Amino acid sequence: MREAVMSVGAKVMRQLPALFGAQMMQYLVTLLTIPLLARTLGPEGWGRTALLMTFAQLALIPLEYGFHVSATRTAARRQACAADLAGLFGSVTAAKLLVALLLALPLYGVGLAIPHGGDDPWLPALALLAAVAQAQDPMWFFLGTEQPNRIAAATILSRLATLAVLVLFLRGPEDAWIYFAAQAASWSGLLAYGILLVRRQTGFGPRHLRAPGTPLRDGWRFFQLFLGSNVFDALLPIVLGAVSTPQSVGVFVAADKLARAASGLIGPLRTALFPSVTALMAESREAAARLWRWAMLRAGGLAALAGLVMLLGAEPIMRAVLGAAAGEGSAAADMLRLLSPLPLLLTVNITLGVQWMIPSGLEGWLRNLYLASGCLRLALCAALGWQIDALAGAVANLCGELMVLGACLVFLRRRRLCPWSA
């Protein structure tokens, strides 16, 4: 049993360099993009752009429709047959395009309705275009077939190209559109390259773009799950914008993105773990639990270290990131200090929920928990925003994640499904 787990662990480790390279580049681009936008667009311009970035994140949830989990799982089960993989890639791509076509107009209306979204109607349109392009990311295919290294280099290059465009062409507050246009072009280029790789490997062609019904049915449960989780991450800054100023929203979004990017650094380990735990769960729950504990110790330790860096270096980090947009005093630094436990909380909750409870068939219960937690976060943000301004968003996030963690621990212990004692 131990040998089987170590064999799977070694396979996971072989995927990590490519995934960590892509994730590190995403983290670096985030660290450089936020200060670039904040300094170039000014405090108010950055706050409005941050709201549109939040809108794009919100739009991405229904556009992805849970395919990044359901399609990855299906690809892991079919990776031995090239013809099956070609059919899967075609049906998932057709389903993604259908979802984008059906939701484009309603989502654009949402973009116009957010605070300051209607000031320039072109900006919500470009933000939506960037979200549509990102939703087509073919990484799910390469994760499911356990060959992420094939597309990781292209992902890194696309992020670098986006950053280069911003550095070269972003000059003033009127250039916010360049950010969203560069994002859309970058993700579109990555999709084109991914299609080329899939075609070479499986013989994929236009004839495979059919039968979107099956991926839509498979993705529905996961869409419900992530709708109850990620949608509230995107709604929180919008609610905050209704009770606070654009400048305050900009500070919160910057600190929150840094905290989530810190958690995202460990994302490759969690991403590589999912298909392996899913496969082991069918053979031996004990072996799957052993692999989960192996990954949790490493991911949790790195997340705790990232949180400590945020806590101790909050003031210079926020000053470097936001510049003048950080405002006077220590409000921005206090925001980051308050959010310093978030990387560890996110890592534990995601690893416990996505990597253990979903393979255990508990996604329905997890969905309801995420919905309850999200409602709590929005209520806290709306209630506290009048008194403590942008700090309300940080308090709401921490309370929501603590609620998820506590409920998961109690539920798993009562069901005797704890991965640390299996």
SS3 string, the chain, reads CHHHHHHHHHHHHHHHHHHHHHHHHHHHHHHHHHHHHHHHHHHHHHHHHHHHHHHHHHHHHHHHCCHHHHHHHHHHHHCCCHHHHHHHHHHHHHHHHHHHHHHHHHHHHHHHHCCCCCCCCHHHHHHHHHHHHHHCCCHHHHHHCCCCHHHHHHHHHHHHHHHHHHHHHCCCHHHHHHHHHHHHHHHHHHHHHHHHHHHHHHCCCHHHCCCCHHHHHHHHHHHHHHHHHHHHHHHHHHHHHHHCCHHHHHHHHHHHHHHHHHHHCCHHHHHHHHHHHHHHHHHCHHHHHHHHHHHHHHHHHHHHHHHHHHHHCHHHHHHHHHHHHHCCCCHHHHHHHHCCCHHHHHHHHHHHHHHHHCCCCCHHHHHHHHHHHHHHHHHHHHHHHHHHCCHHHHHHHHHHHHHHHHHHHHHHHHHCCCCCCC
Measured CA to CA in angstroms, residue 104 lies from 2, 93, 120, 230 at distances of 49, 16, 18, 19
- Render pLDDT for 29-55 as a digit per residue (tens, 0 to 9): 777 888 888 888 888 888 888 889 888
| Average pLDDT, rounded, for the chain | 84
CA distance to 20, 312, 358, per residue, from 285 (Å)? 27, 40, 13
Contact 142, 196 (CB under 8 A): no
User: Is 246:240 a contact under the CB 8 Å cutoff?
Assistant: no
d(CA 252, CA 390): 6
For the chain, the C-alpha Rg in angstroms (whole number) is: 21
Q: What percent of the chain has pLDDT over 70?
A: 86
* Measured distance CA(151)–CA(137) in Å, rounded: 10
Calpha distance 322→43 (Å, rounded): 9
C-alpha distance across the termini of the chain, in Å: 13
Mind listing the pLDDT tens digit for each residue in 133-179?
Answer: 999 999 888 888 877 778 888 888 888 899 899 999 988 888 889 99
Q: Which of 13-17, 377-381, 397-401 has the lowest mean pLDDT?
A: 13-17
Return the pLDDT at 18. Answer: 57
Cα separations (Å) of 88 from 122, 214, 272?
Answer: 35, 9, 20
Task: Give the pLDDT confidence score for residue 14 in this predicted structure.
Answer: 56
* Residues 6 or more apart in contact with residue 136 via CB below 8 angstroms: 93, 96, 187, 188, 191
User: Which pLDDT score, from 0 to 100, does residue 34 have?
Assistant: 84
Mean pLDDT of 189-196: 94
- The pLDDT confidence band at residue 5, using thresholds 50, 70 and 90, is very low
pLDDT of residue 217: 87
Q: Closest Cα to residue 89, out of 131, 134, 133, 140?
A: 140
Nearest to 304 by CA among 347, 335, 367: 347
- Say if residue 359 is exposed, middle or buried (CB neighbours under 10 Å; 0-12, 13-18, 19+): buried
d(CA 397, CA 256): 9
d(CA 311, CA 229): 26
Output 400 or 143, whichever has higher pLDDT.
Answer: 400
The closest of 136, 230, 119 to 177, measured between CA atoms, is 119
Q: Tokens at residue 221, please?
A: 């449960």
Per residue in 263-281, pLDDT tens? Answer: 876 666 666 666 666 667 7
